Amino acid sequence: MITREAALEFGLSFQNTYTERPFRDQNWQVVRARENKKIFLWIYERNGYVNLNVKADPKWRDFWRSAYESVQAGYHQNKEHWNTIILNGTVPDKDIKRMISESYDLVTYSPTKKIYEAVKQIPKGCVATYGQVAEMAGNPRMSRAVGNALHKNPDPEHIPCYRVVNFRGELSGAFAFGGKDVQKKLLEADGIEVVNGTVDLKKYGLAQRDDKLWKNKNLQQ
């Protein structure tokens, strides 16, 4: 990948993205995530080469800079969070694509996505509280955001929001799952006993099952 066209094509291959030229200087072109309009890829020519600016996780930023001489601190950007890739043929395509992909993930990975990823970690036969899910998602104070996200669950088949209960083990109202007793039936299908609309957290709670998934630090990064 050494051309502007190839870089642009890959940048636009991600879901809900678009390109624009934000400056009078038409040399500068960007690719944004449509949902939040954040830029994850800058494309421009400098010193005879096409350059790409990509956002970098601080934990990987220096790794890429040390791995390739043509990956440098972000040109004209915050050098703590951006790297510049000089497309001079010395960086393999797979690593260029990986860095662009990481940049895209950084600007689109919202708290809601973290919540959904956390809920996916709740195993069959267990429930987690809103507070636990918030902690798994990286912010123990966003219990209310957990509730809002789960009520808008875009993929119930793969995001088992019915396994989330309040701090007393109580189930949500009928509105949350499209009908009375729907959550109860789903939990019972998982082998969880529901008594008077409540789950015994001492028996079925995620932490009580000594399951370390709810402490998974990867979800907080």
What is the distance in angstroms between the CA of the first residue and the CA of the last residue of the chain?
30
Residues annotated as part of the active site: 161
Pairing of strands 198-199, 17-20: unpaired
Query: Following DSSP, what letter does each residue of 138-190 receive, concatenated?
Result: T-TT-HHHHHHHHHT-S-TTTS-GGGEE-TT-BPPPGGGTTSTTHHHHHHHHT
* Distance in angstroms (rounded) separating the CA atoms of residues 67 and 107: 23
